[in-house]
Amino acid sequence: MKYLSHYCLLLGLLAGCGNHETAPDQAADSVEPVAQAEKAEAAIPNLVTLTPAEQQMGGIRLGASTERPMSGGLKVNGVLDVPPENLVSVSAPLGGFVERTELLQGSRVRAGQVLALIRNPDFVQLQQDYLETRSQLKFAKAEYERQAELYRQEVAPQKNYQRAQAEYEALQVKTSAQAARLRLAGLPAGGAIVSTAPLRAPKAGFVKAVNVSVGQSVTPTDVLFEIVNPEHLHVELTVFERDIPQVKPQQLVRFTLGNDSAGRERTAHVYLISKTISAERTVRVHAHLDREDEQLLPGTFVRAVIETNRLTVPTLPEKAVVQFGAQPYVFVAVDQPARTGTAAYRLVPVTRGVSEDGYTEFHLPAAEQGKPLRFVVEGAYSLLGKLKNAEEEE
């Protein structure tokens, strides 16, 4: 019995020692899968291998980066406008009735062309007064000359000469004023008396608006026609107050028309920056076109970029830079593919810059700079799709 108790005690001690020796191994076995999972989760796949058929289907094309002048510009909106001297409002100076007009909106007119015929009974009185005053002027001139001769011969007193001179000069002024009024109304100064006067275009251009019809009664304050000359259009841009410190005279402005589906780009240069801020906290910026275009119309909406700085930077086509999560990437070709007939492409993180004209500025990490890399310029999104699928399968 004594030996049996010693034997049981020995077995218990051996069992306890065995449990203590195997515990670390079991702990290690339980920790290792977790570490492997974390390591696999942290590792992002960055290599894609394609067969020739997959390359053809994905439209993969390689190319090099290019150095292009890119700008850090302000995106703004605006309209095409004309200077005040190129937008003319035409009115009938003395009013009347519109007897005839053949103008249509959009018609081209020459300087001096008749826009409408205005009838006014007062025109007759104006011409009558002028003709009567002109006749009186002839008599006053003759009397002035007679009194001047008599005064030189000391036959008539000086006051007669001075009275005749004053009457003659007063009638001269009155005749000139009446003639000017006739010219203002478009009436002839002399000749047959007429009751209608032509309304002429003060400048050449296009008819922007026709605000009258035949038989309409008009006053001197009514605007009958608006004529615009689009030869010297400019761009009026609206810039937010916070961005104005970046805008300087002579900066390049690239703009496209809102109604141009082709997106043709035109250029201008900043000429004038307004010194006032509107209620919307914006400032008007005036830019002159680099090239005149008769096809442009005042009031057309434009989208523009004011180039605040311009630098030559490495660029790639926009479709070559892909987004994977929150990080932009590019694909570069691996010189030695995994197996014959296949091609391998590596995912490289980059820093994205300005995008314009279909190109994007990018910067490689320090470890990749200076290498002769061949970039995937077409088909990058196909590679990204295959990379995501491979990640999901894993």
CA nearest 104: which of 210, 224, 211, 201?
Answer: 210
Helix ranges (DSSP H) in 106-157: 122-152
Instruction: List the beta bridge partners of residue 267.
Output: 254
Residue 7 half-sphere exposure toward CB, CA atoms < 13 A: 4
Cα-based torsion angle of the residue sequence 346, 351, 355, 357 in order, rounded to the nearest 10 degrees = -40
Say what the pLDDT of residue 299 is: 86
First to last CA, the chain: 63
Q: Tokens 């290498």 appear where? A: 371
Specify the CATH number of the domain 74-84+229-311. Answer: 2.40.30.170
208 and 227 in contact (C-beta within 8 Å)? yes
b/e map of 82-104 (b: 16 or more CB within 10 Å)? beeebbbebbbebbbbbeebebe
CA nearest 195: which of 126, 93, 112, 114?
Answer: 126
Say what the pLDDT of residue 265 is: 84
Say what the pLDDT of residue 27 is: 38
DSSP-derived 3-state class of residue 76 = strand
39's enclosing H/E stretch is: helix 2-42
Say what the pLDDT of residue 332 is: 92
Q: Determine the Cα–Cα distance for residues 338 and 48; give it in Å rounded to an integer.
A: 10
Helix, strand, coil shares, percent, the chain, to 5: 35, 35, 30
Q: Determine the Cα–Cα distance for residues 3 and 14; give it in Å rounded to an integer.
A: 17
Quote the Cα angle for 327-54-323, to 5°: 10
For the segment(s) 47-68+313-393, the CATH number from 3.40.50.1100, 2.40.420.20, 2.40.50.1020, 3.30.56.10 is: 2.40.420.20
Tell me the per-residue pLDDT of 69-119, one tens digit each, with 9 for 90 and over: 777 678 899 999 888 888 899 999 999 999 999 888 888 899 999 999 999
Domain 86-120+196-228 has CATH 3.40.50.2300: no
71 and 356 in contact (C-beta within 8 Å)? yes
Residue 51 Cα distances to 158, 211, 342, 348, angstroms:
121, 72, 5, 21
The backbone torsions φ and ψ at residue 155, rounded to the nearest 5 degrees and listed phi first, read: -95, -40
Q: 66-81 and 265-273: which strand pairing?
A: unpaired
Give the pTM. 0.54
Q: Tokens 């035409």 appear where? A: 90
Angle between helices 122-152 and 158-185 (to 10 degrees): 160
Q: Determine the Cα–Cα distance for residues 52 and 339; give it in Å rounded to an integer.
A: 12
Say what the pLDDT of residue 230 is: 79
Q: Report, as ranges of residue numbers, the positions in the chain whose pLDDT lies below 50.
A: 1-44
Domain ranges in the chain? 47-68+313-393, 74-84+229-311, 86-120+196-228, 122-194
Q: Determine the Cα–Cα distance for residues 237 and 304; give it in Å rounded to an integer.
A: 8
199 and 118 in contact (C-beta within 8 Å)? yes
